[in-house]
Amino acid sequence: MTTGRSAIEAVDVRFRYGQAPLLEGLSLSVPTGETTALLGRNGVGKSTLLKLLMGLLKPRHGTLRVLGLDPLRDARDLQALVGYVPDRPDAWPWMRVPELFRFFAVHHPRWNAERARAWTERLGVPLDRSFRQLSRGEGMKTMLAAALAPDPEVLLLDEPFGGLDPVAREEMLRALVGALGERRRTVLVSTHELDLAARLGDRVAILEAGVIRTEGPLSEVIGAGESGAAEALRVRLGSEAGEVT
Amino acid sequence: MRLRVDPTRPSSPSVQIVEGILDAIARGALGAGEQLPTVRGLAEQVVVNPNTVAKAYRDLEALGVVEGRHGSGVFVAVAGVEIARRERRGAVKADLQRAVEAAQATGFTREEITTEVERVLAATGRTRSAPKQGGRS
C-alpha cells in the first residue's frame, strides 16, 4: 500500500565519470514497503545509482535520500539501516565466511550473529573455504546473508542473480521472497532477469540515457498484451532503448 | 491447493493468483469457510513478492469471494463459491467467444465450428452435467 512516503528517493541526480555524463537528471522514488525492479542495458548507470544511494559515490547535482538520510552526510547511520549486495562478492580473497562475519560483528552496529548463521545455513553457504575458492553463486549468497543479518528495512541489490547457475538463482530468489515475508522492507533491485523482475517487483523502473524513462506498477508497465509478463518487459526495455521490436 | 505463477503468461502474477484461487473455489477444491494459505506461505509456494499475494487477497476480498477475519486469516466467504463460479463462467465464456471469433476470422463456417466443438466434447470422453446448484449466470 502506497502511503505517499518513499523510503528511497532520488531527485534530479546528475553524475559523470570523468567527461562522460552517465546520469543526467535522474529522479526515482520507491514507496516504503515496496520493491522496485530497476531495469536497463549494461553500462546505463544502474550500479552507479545504487552506489550513490549507499554513499559510495558523490553526485555532481541533485538530492538522494534513504529513510530520510543523506547518503554522504549520514553515511554511518544509513549503512547500518540498509542491506547492500554489490554486483560482485566484496571480501578479501583469503578470508573465509566466518572471518568476514566476525569483521562485520565488530564494525556493524546492528549485526545479528544468529540471523547471519540462519541465512548462511538456509542458503547453503560453505563456511570452510576462502572467498578465493567460492563460486560466484556462493559468493553472492554470502553477500545476501550478510545483507540480511542486521534485518534491514531497506535492501539495495545490484544484479544479485547475474552470472548464477539456475540452481543458485532459484535459491537466491527463494531466499529473497522469504526475507520479504519476514517483515516490511523497501527494495531496489537492479536485474537483467526479466522473469525475476516480474516475480519480485511491485513496480518497475527503466533507466535509459541518464534518466528513468518508465516507472510504474508492474501490471501497468507490462500492459494487457497477449505476450507474457517477462516478454512484455523485454519489449518495453527494447523500445526505451530506441530499438525496433 | 496447487497454484502456480508463470511470468511467461500474459497476465500479471497478481492476476494469476486471483484466477488460480477463483478456479480452486469454482472446482470445489476450496470450500466456503475454508482458510486460504497465509500471505507469506503462498508467496513462498509460488515464489513471488508477498506484496503481490496481499494484493491478490485484497482483490478477492473486493469481489466478495473471501473475507479477512481480524488476526486469524483469510477465509472463503459464504457467498464466495457462487461468485467464484460466476467469475470463472464469465472468463470461460470470454475465452469461447475469442476462440469462435478467431475461427470465423480464419474462415471457419458455422457448421465447421459446431462440428469442431462437438469433436472436442466427444474427445474429452465425458459429458459433464452442470453443477448441482447455481449453474446459471
**What confidence tens digit (pLDDT) does each residue in B25-76 have?**
999 999 999 999 999 999 999 999 999 999 999 999 999 999 998 888 999 9
Q: Select from B70, B83, B67 the least CA-distant residue to B34.
A: B67
**Residue A243 has which C-alpha cell?**
530499438
What ranges in chain A are assigned the alpha helix state H? 46-54, 75-81, 97-107, 113-123, 136-148, 166-182, 194-200, 218-222, 229-240
Please give the average per-residue pLDDT across A116-136, as a whole number.
94
Contact residues, chain B, for A229 at CB < 8 Å: 7-13
Taking the C-alpha atoms of residue A2 and residue A16, their distance in angstroms, rounded to an integer, is 32
Write a three-state SS string for B65-123: CEEEECCCEEEECCCHHHHHHHHHHHHHHHHHHHHHHHHHHCCCCHHHHHHHHHHHHHH
When pLDDT is averaged across residues A221-230 and rounded to a whole number, the result is: 77
- Asked if A173 lies within 8 A of B44 by C-beta distance, the reply is no
Whole-number pLDDT of residue B135:
43
Q: Which grid cell is A53?
A: 544511494
CA angle B2, B67, B79 (to 5 degrees): 85
Q: Which residues on A lie below 8 Å from B12 (Cβ)? A: 198, 218-219, 222, 229
pLDDT of B127 higher than 80: no
Render pLDDT for A76-101 as a digit per residue (tens, 0 to 9).
999 899 999 999 888 889 999 999 99
Top pLDDT among B125 and A142 is at A142
Check if B22 contacts A (Cβ < 8 Å).
no
User: What spatial distance separates the first Cα and last Cα of chain B, rounded to whole Å?
Assistant: 26
Interface of A with B in 166-225 (CB under 8 A): 173-174, 177-178, 180-181, 194-195, 198-202, 218-219, 222, 224-225
CA–CA gap between residue A49 and residue A147 (Å, rounded)? 18
Return d(Cα A208, Cα A25) in angstroms, integer. 12
Q: What is the DSSP letter of A110?
A: T
Residue A73 binned pLDDT confidence (cut-offs 50, 70, 90): very high
